Structure 1
Amino acid sequence: MITNEEIIEQIKKGVNKKPLFYVTRYKERGSGLGCSLKNFKTITTTPPKDTAEILEKKSFPLKSNIIVFKNNARIQRICKEKKLNLLNPDYHLVEKYENKISQYKWLKTIIPASLPKTVITTPNKNSFQKIGQILGKPFIGQFNRSHTGQGTLLISKTKQWKELVEKFPQRKIKCTQFINGPVITVNICLWPALSADEQGCILMGNPSYQITGLKQLTDFPYSTTGNDWSLAQKILNSNDFKTIKTLCQKIGKAMIKNGWQGLFGLDFIKGKKWLVIEINARQPASTGLETALQKKQGKGITIFAAHVAALLQLPLPTCPAGRPGTCDEIEKSFQKINQGAQIIIRKKRRSKYTKFHPVKCRKAAISPRASAKLFNRVEKTLCNPLKQSVSKGKKKGPDPIRIIKGEVETEKHNAELFRIQNFKSGFVTKNNQLNTFAKQLLKNFK
């Protein structure tokens, strides 16, 4: 087995002569390597600023290696002007894979039988009835650019389509059949080949159930409000894992050929079969927690360490036999997890969750071990005084809970206010509802 420490040692050697900076709005996005790397540093600001703005105003040694959460045209231009070595994939590739319409057209050439029924049109050239005949009613509408489900519409009435005709008559829209099924998210790392005769590795992370549109957490019915690795383990069987892995391999292989390296995410939905519904062409937001869970559950390779090693274009690590490791050996060394979850509290129009307010420890309440004033993007632990279950004569310990403060000061609708992370169990039931423990946790916010 190749351990995560071995990957960290390789990264140390890779940044020995040239420093590596992870520049980000939020520190936890770049915190997955730990504190042992002298030439690696996460750069952020308080209060949080845009990544491009940080790059523009901060001084870096010439030709420093730079990693960002997601590349864009402005970031790439600034790095070029300041003679910095940006390691993320080219922003043109990011746009191609991230934008709803271009990603669908590209996926259609790779996995045509594993996509939902789709119509790409402009509102003034089609009608609700015609599209409904092809896709069924209701159907999903998405414009080319949207984030965290804010640009996703459930179109069920002629009136809604007419509103689109009036507001955006010539704007392209992707219309997709509505499927009522579980959504699974997978983080994938592409570790590219260093020469033509080497095979690039497609490293599939641990599938998580995507928590979507919970009314307690957001106003948007298709906004991502968390991930649950515990629930994914319960609802996926061996055939599901096999199908999802095959699709990840097909898409990953095509992306490596196009020059992608490092992390991206795939979303799947289960109808009559598993279908791919979205590519997230960047480091997925759940990477930080998946890495933390991997560290707690074993010594195997973490998703974030693989991401950094891939972006640095390091050679595959040496296996215990002393020869270069193969992709199969790397994959087997990838740390598996079977528990953990997070929920995201987003700003609603009439949001009551703007402050962390610990309630007293009662029968059905959660009491923190640190006061609310310390929660300035700092990780703290809550205890779980709820009745503990007994297993084999031993009491289970409290669920370790971590709270990360988000954009609490902003007035932006649907901004992330808090991220609540559970290291032992899940937060949702199989019908996409908060479980009792999650509901009790929310009583700590007002």
Structure 2
Amino acid sequence: MQEFLTFLKKHPVVYVTRDIERAMGLSFDTPGYFIISNSTPFAKFISQGRKNILLIESEHLLPTFDLLQREETESFLKNIASNGPNPSLLVFKPTSQIERICTQNTWKLLNPLVSLSSTIEEKISQIDWLGPLEYLLPPHCVDTLENLDFEIPFILQFNTSHTGTGTQCISDIKQLNALKQTFPKRPVRALKYISGPTFTSNNVVSKENIFLGNISYQITGISPFTNNPFATIGNDFDFANRFLTDTQKQKFFDIAKKVGEKLQQDGWLGAYGIDVIVDKETQELYLLEVNARQPASVPFESLLQKEKTSLEMPLTIFEAHLMSLLDFSIPYQSIIPLTKGAQIILRDAEIHFDAQKLLSWKNQLESLGYTVIDTPNTEDGTELLRIRTKHGSFISHEEKLNDEGERIKKIFE
């Protein structure tokens, strides 16, 4: 690990992000690691005036593209370059706008090309991209809505979505016909409805290796944390470890590796995530999603891993992500394993942003021993609070909160 820290000093990286939590996979005291983010109470608290962190003041939270356009950002980057090599930039999720502004300013962007990530993530192009791996998906078809004929109930997905916003469960013909009338020419992906729990993992592709991350249960659609039945609201490593059999875990890793090998063939570097569902009836595993980017739970997984760092296996998922993007030869074969830990997220949905309420809830939750990260988001579906436990769990069985989870839920009711 010391070799990489020495390398980073000579090849500085600036993580530009709307939400500073996305950059918390590496210690803020790491030489050569810089951050540009919005100035929020949480960001101010954890940055503690560090010179390697630029917090930009604004009336509202600025997206990454807007942060890159600020004069403070340009000055910050010039100052880093004046004291050493030009820094490389890293963002949470790149866009064509971000790529364009980096090109205009001759800033090196470490993230893989948007054209590739979009092909992989978008629901329709993903099927062609998977090619011979298409069989990993549930039974499915692609068609325009006006021509779609699929056995009800089924899952309908528009080409692009985020945290469940482009996904619907079609349960009757009236619901389908209403969509056909509204969007007759729109292409969609239809998948067989499968009842069962969903699990996820964060993984990393380097030039030499594929690092398979830890499996967590994907907490989804529980009120009052969200009003969207398909919205992801957390991860539970403890429940995944208890629920899945050794055979199912191995099959999950086989899917993750096959996807990673395909990414590697296409020149991908860095983190990617997969979502996998377990069929309640057959116990078969099916691939649901491929997230071609740093998944949102990478910093949390990395923080849990730091608690277990050993000389034999010191690598976290974020460190593997950053090393791969920098084309640093990783001297390890695997990352730190986890069997405990969970987080649950309160989204702006049934409950809307209210600064006083959020502060009150945060204080209550922290008094119970949880780590709480607050974000002053005001848009529907965005994160308000992240509630974390390092050693516990929030799930007793599928879609059912345990006593700890219920205790948190009652605070919001």
TM tier relative to shorter chain? 0.7 to 0.9
SS in 1 for 2:124: helix
2:18 counterpart of 1:25 = yes
Give matches, 1:280-291, under 5 Å. 280-291=291-302
In the TM superposition, what is the alpha-carbon distance from 1:35 to its structure 2 partner?
Answer: 3.0
- What's the CA shift string for 1:360-384, capped at 9, x where partnerless? xxxxxxxx7xx58xxxxxxxx8244
Q: What corresponds to 1:10 in structure 2?
A: 3
Alignment pair present for 1:77 and 2:100: yes
**Alpha-carbon distance in structure 2 between the residues aligned to 1:418 and 1:65:** 30
1:115 and 2:152 matched: no
Q: For the Cα contact (< 8 Å) 2:345–2:383, is it kept in 1?
A: yes
Partner of 1:278: 289
Partner-residue secondary structure (3-state), 1:100? coil
- Alignment correspondent of 1:186: 201
Map 1:84-99 → 2, pairs under 5 A: 84-99=107-122
Q: Report SS of the residue matched to 2:396.
A: coil
Cα separation, partners in 2 of 1:358 and 1:54, compared to 1, 3 Å: closer
AA partner of residue 414 (structure 1): G
CA distance in 2, matches of 1:162, 1:268: 29
Query: Does the aligned pair in 2 maintain the 1:212–1:223 contact within 8 Å?
Result: yes
- Secondary structure of 1:15's aligned partner: helix
**Deviation readout 1:143-175 (Å, 9 max, x if unpaired):** 001100011111011111111112111011111
Secondary structure of 1:166's aligned partner: helix
| Superposition pairs of residues 367-446 of structure 1, within 5 angstroms | 371=363, 382-384=366-368, 400-408=369-377, 410=378, 412-445=379-412
Which aligned runs of 4 or more in structure 1 are off by greater than 6 angstroms?
none
* Whole-Å separation in 1 of the counterparts to 2:412 and 2:359: 5
Structure-1 separation of matches of 2:21 and 2:353: 25
Query: Which residue does the alignment assign to 2:237?
Result: 229
Matched, 1:35 2:28: yes
Which amino acid in the other structure matches residue 100 of structure 1? K
More helix by share: 2
1:356 counterpart SS class: helix
For normalisation by structure 2, the TM-score amounts to 0.86
How far 1:283 moved relative to its partner?
Answer: 0.4
Q: C-alpha displacement at 1:353, in angstroms?
A: 7.7
CA distance in 1, matches of 2:348, 2:26: 30
Once the two structures are overlaid, the 10-residue window that deviates more, 57-66 or 21-30, is 57-66
What is the distance in 2 between the residues matched to 1:30 and 1:214? 27
Greater alpha carbon shift after TM alignment, 87-96 vs 29-38: 29-38
Secondary structure in structure 2 of the residue aligned to 1:44: strand
Deviation of 1:445 after TM superposition, in Å, equals 4.3
Aligned to 1:302: 316
The CA deviation at 1:65 is 0.3
Correspondence for 1:50? 63
Larger radius of gyration, structure 1 or 2?
1
User: In structure 1, what is the equivalent of residue 126 of structure 2?
Assistant: 103
1:351 CA displacement: 4.6
Identify the residue that residue 347 of structure 1 maps to in structure 2.
348
Distance across 2 between alignment mates of 1:431 and 1:264? 25
User: Does 2:157 correspond to 1:155?
Assistant: no
Check whether the contact 2:340–2:390 (CA below 8 A) recurs between aligned residues. Answer: yes
Contact 2:353–2:376 (Cα < 8 Å) also in 1: no
More displaced stretch, 96-105 vs 59-68: 59-68
Quick one: structure 1 residues 90 and 352, their matched pair in 2 at CA, closer, same or farther if it must change by over 3 Å? closer
Distance, in Å, in 2 between the alignment partners of 1:401 and 1:143 is: 37
Structure 1 residue 104 displacement after superposition: 2.3
Unaligned runs of 5+ in 1: 1-5, 193-199, 318-328, 360-367, 373-380, 385-399
Shift in Å, 1:440: 1.5
Conserved 8 A contact 1:10-1:314: no
Alpha-carbon displacement from aligned partner over 1:121-158 (angstroms, at most 9, x marks no partner):
111123xxx311xxxx2100010011000111110111
Cα pair 2:353 2:384 within 8 Å, conserved: no
Match of 2:254 among 235, 246, 254: 246
Structure 1 position 316, deviation (Å):
2.5
Give the conservation status (yes or no) of the 8 Å contact 1:21–1:43.
yes
Shift in alpha-carbon separation, 1:245–1:431, aligned structure 2, 3 A: closer
Q: Kindly indicate whether the alpha-carbon contact (under 8 Å) linking 1:218 and 1:414 is maintained by their aligned counterparts in 2.
A: yes
Take 2:27 and 2:409, find their aligned partners in 1: how far apart are those partners? 30
Instruction: Encode CA deviations 1:389-415: one digit per residue, 9 max, x unaligned.
Output: xxxxxxxxxxx411111244x1x2222
Matches within 5 A, 1:327-346: 329-331=332-334, 334-346=335-347
Instruction: Decide whether aligned partners of structure 1 residues 111 and 140 sit closer, same or farther in structure 2, where only a CA change above 3 A counts.
Output: same
